[in-house]
Amino acid sequence: MIKYLVIGDPIGHSRSPGMQNAAFAACGLGRPYGIKKVTAEELPDFFEFARKNYFGVNITVPHKIRAAELADSLTERAGECGSVNTLIISENSILGDSTDGVGLEMALKYCFNSTLEGKKILFCGAGGAARATAVHLAGCGVTEISFINRTIEKAQELSDLCCKKNPALVSEVIVPADDVLGRVAVGRADFLIQATSLGLKESDPMPLNASWLEKGMKVKIFDTIYHPTKLQKYAEELSLSWANGKEMLVQQGAESFRLWTKIVPPLEVMREGFDKGDDLQ
């Protein structure tokens, strides 16, 4: 019986059922994780249904911000970023949490075999994913988090939120058209986090000025998108260190699994589940 699921709109592409069911099955808990398209209009009714029928829900695009308003209560980290990707339901009560931040933190450490202590981070994007992850990283010992984003007000708001979390943080907002500042920012960064939706479609342009990336740079590129993109291809051509968003999805899902089951998540099984998909969908 389905007791956990992922919702979003669109949702057909989600790798969460394959990954989560692999973890549940490996722990002898069957395959209780489903998938459902829920539109923005349907979201309040879905919350009422979920309250009585599920133990846990993952929330994806475009509902993470609205979910933070609809949950009965929020964890501290979800409240800080105003985004919810995990519902923990018990005794008719819905607790909203955000595991995207810890997902990116663990992914950076795993993919690049690196610590975050003292590192300089540059985000491309200031939407929901950037919001949930940047505020978390601000509390992970990094010294700088800067933002390049099309809508400058959103980048400034997020920069302010990160500095509120960590008053010692250095944070700059860079206009995409500023060739000088953009080039300097990429040159300074230890990690470039690609958190825009540019790359989801094959026809999308690069999310930043390609000429800012050069062979031999120290910057490690993490593209939150988990299928091949122009940025990933270009980073490979320049022999730069890069990773796609698979490990972030696995790690945020593993944290949801841990919250629901209180079991240490079987990470390798979840990585394999991500690759294989879920035949039972």
- The minimum distance between CB 126 and ligand NAP, in angstroms, equals 5
Torsion of CA 19, 136, 194, 177, to 10 degrees: 160
Q: Which residue is nearest to ligand NAP (CB)?
A: 127
Taking the C-alpha atoms of 109, 113, 116 and 118 in order, what is their torsion angle to the nearest 10 degrees? 180
Where along the sequence are the contacts to ligand NAP (CB under 6 A)? Answer: 61, 100, 103, 125-130, 149-151, 154, 195-198, 200, 224-226, 245, 248-249, 252
Q: Least CB distance from residue 123 to ligand NAP, whole Å? A: 9
120 belongs to the catalytic site: no
Nearer CB in complex with ligand NAP: 245/266: 245
Query: What distance in Å separates the CA atoms of residue 172 and residue 147, rounded to the nearest whole number?
Result: 6
Smallest separation (angstroms) from ligand NAP to the CB of 53: 25
272 vs 133: CA distance, rounded Å: 24
Query: What whole-number distance in Å separates Cα of residue 196 and Cα of residue 73?
Result: 28
Q: How would DSSP label each residue in 62-98?
A: T-HHHHHHHSSEE-HHHHHHT---EEEEETTEEEEE-
C-beta of 53 vs 211, nearer to ligand NAP: 211
Nearest approach, Cβ of residue 251 and ligand NAP (Å): 8
Q: List the catalytic residue out of 64, 119, 120, 165.
A: 64
Is 187 within 8 Å of 217 (Cβ atoms)? yes
Cβ neighbours of residue 241 closer than 8 Å, sequence gap 6 or more: 112, 220, 221, 235
E strand or H helix at 56: strand 56-59
Report, as residue numbers or ranges, the catalytic residues. 64
